[in-house]
Amino acid sequence: MSSPSPATPVTGRFAPSPTGDLHFGSLIAAVASFLEAKSAGGCWLVRIDDIDPPREQPGSAERILRDLDRFGLKPDAPVLYQGSRTEAYRAAVTRLQERGLAFPCGCSRGDLPESGVYPGTCRAGLAPGKTPRSVRLKVSGEPVRFTDRIQGPQEENLREAVGDFVIWRADDLPAYQLAVVVDDAWQEVSEVVRGADLLDSTARQVYLQGCLDLPTPVYAHHPVALDGDGRKLSKRDGSDPVARLRPARALWLALRFLGQDCPQDLDLDSAWRWALAHWRLDRVPRSREAALAL
């Protein structure tokens, strides 16, 4: 599984889910991914992760894109909507099944042990009385290793941590792990900068890339922002949308959270010029969570 060489043009991306308005935790991820790509002379993409219709909110994607534009975060190519890529995901599943690397599973979530680790019930064939519900990827017992540019060396034994994992859901939708791997490769994404709440998904994505003979991007997971009560800033927890914040103030807060010592009294354009000239990934705190001081 190869990583891009220093001579390879850098392509970064931000891939929000349209399940609510852009909140400050997502803005941090957008700023970090934008600056890491653009400060290296690369390009920055926006991809809408609209593969889970039951959780999506009408108009959310449009509001997210509008807020990104208001903050000066402009992608270098047309926005990709993953909901338009279903056939590519189906083709990837078919390829894995033809190689004997994936299998139909008749188990529901309620059939799993309390640990949540899949015990391989249908790996050798559907269990008696089961009908196909989802498709799972077979995992090996070999550890998956990668080096995160912020969090450092990582290692996970997928068989022990999660077991064979779902790549096509029982409700006939692609699983997140599959869609993100297929589209990172299709868009030639060379680096993924995102919140550390997704660090635990990365070993599965690296393993899946190997199964599909796809390149592995460089990964960097910044700390997740916590509110004053120690809760993650997220749409699910009802965090305030960034639309209520002045763009220059919000950008300064995001840069400070990411360890960048930006002057506080700059307007938005000046703050972006400063950030592009002074961005340093090695200044981002090496922790999985951090309190956001407003």
Is 249 among the domain residues?
yes
5 class by beta-carbon count within 10 Å (0-12 exposed, 13-18 middle, 19+ buried):
exposed
Distances (CA, A) of 6 to 9, 36, 238: 8, 14, 40
Q: At what angle do helices 24-38 and 247-257 cross, to 10 degrees?
A: 80
d(C-alpha 290, C-alpha 226), whole Å: 6
pLDDT given for residue 235 in this prediction:
54
Is 2 among the domain residues?
no
Domain extent, residue 149, equals 11-291
AA letter at 130: K
The structure tokens 């190519």 sit at 77
Contact 13, 47 (CB under 8 A): yes
The structure tokens 């699983």 sit at 175
The structure tokens 């103030």 sit at 249
d(C-alpha 246, C-alpha 258), whole Å: 18
Q: From start to end of the chain, where are the E strands?
A: 11-14, 43-48, 80-81, 102-105, 134-137, 144-148, 152-156, 165-168, 191-195, 218-222, 224-226, 289-291
pLDDT given for residue 229 in this prediction:
62
Is 6 among the domain residues?
no
Is 233 among the domain residues?
yes
Is 226 among the domain residues?
yes
70: domain CATH number is 3.40.50.620
The phi-psi region of residue 232 (left if phi > 0; otherwise alpha if psi is between -120 and 50; otherwise beta) is: beta
CB within 8 Å of 7: residues ≥ 6 apart: none
Mean pLDDT by 10 residues, the chain (294 residues): 55 97 94 98 98 95 97 98 98 98 94 91 90 97 97 98 98 98 99 98 99 98 85 59 84 97 96 98 95 74
Is 212 among the domain residues?
yes
115 class by beta-carbon count within 10 Å (0-12 exposed, 13-18 middle, 19+ buried):
exposed
How many CB atoms lie under 10 A from the CB of residue 41?
8
Is 1 among the domain residues?
no
Could you say which DSSP state residue 189 is in? -
The structure tokens 């090695």 sit at 282
Domain count, the chain: 1
Query: 3-class SS at 119?
Result: coil
pLDDT given for residue 109 in this prediction:
87
Q: What is the dihedral of CA 53, 24, 28, 60, to 10 degrees?
A: 30
Query: 3-class SS at 3?
Result: coil
Is 3 among the domain residues?
no
Could you say which DSSP state residue 168 is in? E
d(C-alpha 271, C-alpha 255), whole Å: 9
Contact 109, 136 (CB under 8 A): no
